[in-house]
Amino acid sequence: MIEAPFVFAVGFTPSIAQINLRGRAQILGEKEEVSKLLDEHKQQKPPPIVIVQTISNAAMAESIILSRTIGVPPPLPPLPASTGPAQARPDTRYAT
């Protein structure tokens, strides 16, 4: 088992609140997987994306609950930027 410390920060725009979560994630796995993860950490490699996503998802859920408790809108992750041109929508008309 590995304990990985993390900090998850949520800022609001306009600046009405800020939520900061600090904790330790417990990572369990096969002995070989855990050893590989430790070796990669010693080589200054970033953690696997699955670990980062798991911690982020849990922290986001907790920050949504906290936002309700303190009376601010729930934090939403940033929307992805559009990658292509906008597609034309067909013109819909209804006859009456």
pLDDT tens digits, 32-50: 999 999 999 999 999 999 9
Residue 19 pLDDT grade (very low, low, confident, very high; cuts 50, 70, 90): very high
Is pTM beyond 0.95? Reply is no
Exposure string for 4-32, b = 16+ CB within 10 A, e = fewer: eebebebeeeeeeeebebeeebebeeeee
